[in-house]
Amino acid sequence: MQNTTPTSQQPNPRQAYYDRIAKDHMTPLWEVLGALVPKSPNSPAKPALWRYAELREQVMEAGRLITAEQAERRVLILENPGLQGQSAITQSLYAGLQLILPGEIAPAHRHTQSALRLVIDGEGAYTAVDGERTTMRRGDFIITPSWTFHDHGNLGDQPVVWLDGLDIPTVRFFDAGFAEHGQSAAQATIRPEGDALARYGNNMLPVDFYQAPSDPTRVFVYPYERTMASLDKIASGTPDPHLGYKLRYVNPATGASPMPTIGAFSQRLPAGFETRPYRSTDGTVYVCQEGEATVSVGDTEWQLQRDDIFVVPSWQPLKFLAKRDTTLFSFSDRPVLQSLGLWREARL
C-alpha cells in the first residue's frame, strides 16, 4: 500500500490547501475551533495590582511634564500585562489615573464612550456634566454618560487624582466611537450643584419624567458619605459568605445600572472575615477604599492596602481575608453580559 504520510521531501497536502484558500481570504475553522469556542472562559487578561502609594510620584511627575490643557486629559493608563498595547485593563474596559493640578481646567468635550470617576487623592476639584458641577471628594463615584459634555477643573490648592473607568474597548469593538470638543474650555453653569441629585436621587422624579432601562442615569454623582452610611447600616446583619456586604449602584429612575455598559459596586468586609471563593464572567476592576486585606485571584495573592487597584479577569476565582474592616469599590462589564444572556457566576 502506498504511504501517504508527508515526509520532509513531500509537501503537506493540508498546508498546501490552507495556503491556496488563504488567497481567497478563507481559513479552516477546525484549526482554531477550540480557541473560538472554549469549554470555559480563558481570558488573555491577567490578574494585576497597582499600588497607588508607590505610583503617586509618577502621576505627579506627569503634571510637571505636560499641562491638562495640552494633554486634554492627563491620564496614565493602567494597562493589563496580558493586553499590552491595547489601552485596556480587561477585554472590554479601560482604566487610568487622571491628575488635575490647582488652577487647571481639563477642557470640555463629549464622546460616545461612557465614563466613571472614583476620587482617590486630594480635594478641591470639580466635574461638570451638561452644565452642572459637582465637587469631587475622596470616594465619590461620578459618571459622565455617553455623549454628555464634561470638563474638570481644580479650584483648590492641592493636586487631585481620580481613577477613570471607561468602556473604550467595547465601543472600539463595535467601531462606534465619536467625539466632539466643546465651544469653550469650561461649560457655562446652567444648574446649581446638587440639582440632579435632588431631582432624581431622593426616591422622587419630575412628574413627567420617564426613562428606558437602557438610558443612563441623570444622577451623575453618588457621594461616598451616602455609600458608607448604607454599608454601615446593613453591616449588622449576617454577611454573604462569598461577598460580605455588597451593594450595586443603580439608576434611581429605573433600577438598572447607572450606565448600560458598566456596572459599579461597593462592598464591605468585616475585620477577620474570609470569603469563600467566587468567580463570574465579568472582568472586574477593584479599588481598596478603606482597610487592609489579603486577596487571592486565581494562583496570585496580594496584601491589599488603601488605594490599591487590582483587576480580576473573567472566570478567575476570587477570595478575600479582611485584616481590618475593608471597603471595596468595583466596576465591571456585567450589564452588557446580562443583557446578552452571557453573565454567569459560580459560588465555590
Average pLDDT over residues 219-236: 96
- Residue 322 counted as domain residue: yes
Asked if the model's pLDDT at residue 317 lies above 90, the reply is: yes
pLDDT band at 237 (very low <50, low <70, confident <90, very high): confident
**What does the radius of gyration of the chain's CA atoms come to, in whole angstroms?**
23
- Residue 42 counted as domain residue: no
- Residue 25 counted as domain residue: no
Amino acid 191: pLDDT = 95
Structural domains of the chain, count: 1
41: nearest Cα among 112, 91, 87? 91
The answer to whether 142 and 216 have CB atoms below 8 angstroms apart is no
Tell me if residue 347 falls in helix, strand or coil. strand
Alpha-helical (H) ranges within 134-238 are: 168-173, 195-200, 224-234
Average pLDDT over residues 295-309: 98
CA dist 191 and 131 (Å) reads 6
Tell me if residue 229 falls in helix, strand or coil. helix
Amino acid 204: pLDDT = 93
pLDDT band at 177 (very low <50, low <70, confident <90, very high): very high
Average pLDDT over residues 237-251: 97
Residue 202: give its domain's CATH number.
2.60.120.10
- Residue 228 counted as domain residue: yes
- Residue 22 counted as domain residue: no
- ∠ CA(114), CA(229), CA(234), 5° rounding? 100
pLDDT tens digits, one per residue of 32-75 = 999 999 999 999 999 999 999 999 999 999 999 999 999 999 99
Average pLDDT over residues 99-106: 97
- Residue 161 counted as domain residue: yes
Amino acid 9: pLDDT = 66
- Residue 5 counted as domain residue: no
Adjacent-strand bridge partners of 247: 266
Asked if the model's pLDDT at residue 315 lies above 80, the reply is: yes
Which domain covers residue 217, as residue numbers? 48-347
- Residue 283 counted as domain residue: yes
Amino acid 11: pLDDT = 73
CA dist 116 and 313 (Å) reads 19
Asked if the model's pLDDT at residue 134 lies above 60, the reply is: yes
